Structure 1
Amino acid sequence: MRSSYWMALAVMAGAAAWVVSGQMAGGGPSPAADRPPPPAAEPAPTAVRVVESVAAARARRVVLRGRTEPNRQVVLKAETMGRVATIDVDRGRRVSEGQRIVELAEDDRPARLAEARALLAQREVEFRASRTLAERGFRADNQHAVARAQLDAARAQVMRMEVEMRRTGVRAPFAGVLEARRVELGDYLKEGDPVATVVDLDPVVVVAHLTEIDRAHVRLGQTGRARLANGREVEARVRYLAANADPATRTFRVELEAANPDLAVIGGLTAEVLLAVEEVMAHRITPALLALDEQGMVGVKTVDAADRVAFHPVRILEDGPDGMWVGDLPERARLISVGHEFVRTGQTVRPVAGEARPAS
């Protein structure tokens, strides 16, 4: 019994020795396994191409929708009664200042003028005789005053008849185009009846409307350009600025006049008016440089002095075939010309310089 006890104890000791010998043979836990893994290497900064842009003074222009109108327009009316005896100008024809358009029949006007002139001659003789008698003391002052009054009345009658004779001819008050004629041969006119409409198209007027903000930057006499619906482009000058806004649209009427000696520009044409409203510092870029931020604002991405990406909202001042002019950028800026789609604001990049492009 005692021998079996000692045998079991020996087996247990041998097993323990075998286990300990196996751990020592394996070398135990490795010190390297207890150390944390080395951190991963940071990726290299993204390379982007940048271009140095320098701002230049640029006039901010607004584009207004407008229309052309005559410089002036008048409806001619009869100044006396009479029958239309002569029509000298057809509709649509050019007329010069003072040119006769319609002539009324004289009727008995020449006879009444001759009668008035004869009476005037008689009153002049009577007045001279009265003056001689008054100077010699043979005529009272009141009688001499009557003779003077009769002479003045005769002169007034002659003048009245001469004016009446001139009124038989309806004439153009200024050079222009006979837009409409409302009478025909044989029509009988009363004083005040409309006869014809004359319009003046040189200069031609372009009418548009300014917003409240732009109204403060426009001045009388400044020049602009008008692109007409027929493809013609004319230079125009601001001649009128409304002092009160239209209550319906809250905009201000502006009129520009343009020379039109050949009358090639007619009234009623749709016009696109380009008008400078203020001078700002602007950069010329290509539309491909534009981007949107998280709020949907339009802008461009730049690289600052620390090679970090920055986003700048911009105002588009002008867009043309040679590029786009934008404002609200620093005077000098490194614009990302290639790769702005793959970088985000605040990211460090590796800028690769492109050709410097000063604004022209």
Structure 2
Amino acid sequence: MRILPILAAIALAVILYMAVLERPTLMSFFGADGGDETAEVATEDTAPAPVKDTRVKVVVQKVTAQSIDSAVVLRGQTAAARQVDVRAETSAVVVSEPLRKGAAIEEGQIMCRLDAGTRHAAMTQANAQLAEAKSRVPEAEARVQEAQARLEEAKINQNASSRLKEGGFASTSRVASSDAAVAAAQAGVSSAQSGLSSARAGIEGAQAAVEGAQAELERLVIKAPFSGLLESDTAELGSLLQPGALCATVVQLDPIKLVGYVPESQVNRVKVGAIAGARLAAGGSDVQGRVTFVSRSSDPTTRTFLTEIEVPNPDLAIRDGQTAEILIASAGADAHLVPQSALTLNDEGALGLRVVNDANIVEFYEVVLVRDTVNGVWVTGLPTEANIIVVGQEYVIKGVEVVPTPREVTQ
């Protein structure tokens, strides 16, 4: 019987027993201190559970202010400097050949000529009445002079009668008769003066009739109020025009206007006289002019302000109603380029951005939109350098501590 394998098995069993069940005694026998491990285990078993971090995690992007040319960008259209519908002021038949639309006309050029009818006869009659009224004035003036002479004679007789009565040489009845004669003479003067006033009024009435007849004759010739182009044919030969009927439409395209509407957030940056440029949608040509008008009242629906720009158009290449992208020069400003999705509103409804400061506390800054681009929007109102929240800004408010994570460039 072999004794060595049995002894080896017994020795292995003892070693395993000591290593597993009597490990502290074994470690103490070899001089190792197992109290630390035991204390460590005890400490781990009795230590309180860690506090959960409730701070919101957000993604931030660092932006730095840049100086930009803050031109105001609008989308508008071209408009004729002047456009008018020339209409008839009297009723008559057209006797002139029509001018075709597109024709260039000069100021004062005849567009429609109407039949005079009996208007010349009415003019002759008015002149005759005026001459008759004027002939009555000398007669009325003579009557006034005659009445004034009678009044002077009556006053002399009245004076003489009064003196004779004082001397006892005239009776009371004679004095009374003299007074009555003076009163009658004064009435005659008043009547003569009334006749003179009536004669002069007749002249004025006759003169008004002459001027009315002359104006009626002038209405028969309808002229262009300014130089431009005909936008429609003039009235056809033989057609009857009533008062208010259209003769033709005239437009002036030199200079031409660019019309656009400025948002209320940018209207204070647009000044009359500022240089402005535009690119027309048709042909892509560029034009330049100056701002001539900025409305003081906004459109009640869109809250935007009408702006007009005058542009030279000597060759009439720009048409009325073309779409145009307008840029109006404005003073430069320091602004930040930020993602449009980062914009948010605070409790008061103000537009702005939420920013994380150096202490990881959220702050809110109101901003003003300067320009919109494909890469984001340019805004003002932020510090020179700022860490704006681009993800999670809707879940935090001002004064909250957050855990910021920088946004990668590739994002």
| Secondary structure, counterpart of 1:213 in structure 2 | coil
Q: Does 1:108 align with 2:118?
A: yes
Q: Does 1:272 align with 2:282?
A: no
1:291 and 1:207 map into 2 onto residues whose CA distance is 30
Question: Unmatched 5+ residue regions in structure 1?
Answer: 1-53, 284-289, 298-314, 320-325, 333-343, 348-360
Residues 60, 318 of structure 1: 8 Å contact kept: no
- 1:85 equivalent in structure 2: 95
- Mapping for residues 29-40 of structure 1, pairs under 5 Å: none
**Equivalent residue for 1:167, pick from 215, 219, 241:** 219
2:242 and 2:205 map into 1 onto residues whose CA distance is 27
Residues 99, 234 of structure 2: 8 Å contact kept: no
**Equivalent residue for 1:179, pick from 203, 225, 231:** 231
Q: Pairwise CA RMSD of aligned residues?
A: 4.1
After TM superposition, the structure 1 stretch with the greater mean CA deviation from structure 2, 240-249 or 96-105, is 240-249
- Mapping for residues 141-220 of structure 1, pairs under 5 Å: 141-181=193-233, 183-220=235-272
Q: Does 1:256 align with 2:313?
A: no
CA shift in 2, pair 1:345/1:120, >3 Å: same
CA shift in 2, pair 1:346/1:237, >3 Å: closer
Counterpart amino acid of residue 140 in structure 1: A
1:136 and 1:173 map into 2 onto residues whose CA distance is 55
- 1:75 equivalent in structure 2: 85
The CA deviation at 1:183 is 2.3
1:296 and 1:142 map into 2 onto residues whose CA distance is 89
The count of aligned residue pairs is 266
- 1:238 equivalent in structure 2: 291
- 2:273 equivalent in structure 1: 221
Question: Unmatched 5+ residue regions in structure 2?
Answer: 1-64, 149-190, 344-368, 386-404
Counterpart amino acid of residue 325 in structure 2: E
| Secondary structure, counterpart of 2:142 in structure 1 | helix
| Secondary structure, counterpart of 1:181 in structure 2 | coil
2:300 and 2:200 map into 1 onto residues whose CA distance is 60
The CA deviation at 1:330 is 9.8
The CA deviation at 1:170 is 1.0
- The structure richer in strand per residue is 1
| Secondary structure, counterpart of 1:204 in structure 2 | strand
The CA deviation at 1:316 is 9.0
The CA deviation at 1:245 is 2.8
TM-score (norm 1): 0.62
Identity %: 35
Superimposed CA distance per residue, residues 96-146 of structure 1 (whole angstroms, 9 cap, x where no aligned partner): 222210000111211221222122122212212322332333871222222
Larger radius of gyration: 2
- 1:15 equivalent in structure 2: none
| Secondary structure, counterpart of 1:140 in structure 2 | helix
**Equivalent residue for 1:127, pick from 137, 158, 182:** 137
Superimposed CA distance per residue, residues 267-314 of structure 1 (whole angstroms, 9 cap, x where no aligned partner): 01010101124322489xxxxxx999xx989xxxxxxxxxxxxxxxxx
Residues 133, 203 of structure 2: 8 Å contact kept: yes
After TM superposition, the structure 1 stretch with the greater mean CA deviation from structure 2, 96-105 or 130-139, is 130-139
Counterpart amino acid of residue 115 in structure 1: Q
Residues 88, 100 of structure 1: 8 Å contact kept: no
1:240 and 1:94 map into 2 onto residues whose CA distance is 28
| Secondary structure, counterpart of 2:96 in structure 1 | strand
- The structure richer in helix per residue is 2
Residues 75, 196 of structure 1: 8 Å contact kept: yes
1:256 and 1:316 map into 2 onto residues whose CA distance is 21
Counterpart amino acid of residue 85 in structure 2: V
- Mapping for residues 277-292 of structure 1, pairs under 5 Å: 277-281=330-334
| Secondary structure, counterpart of 2:326 in structure 1 | strand
Counterpart amino acid of residue 177 in structure 1: L
2:342 and 2:112 map into 1 onto residues whose CA distance is 67
Counterpart amino acid of residue 221 in structure 2: G
Counterpart amino acid of residue 317 in structure 2: A
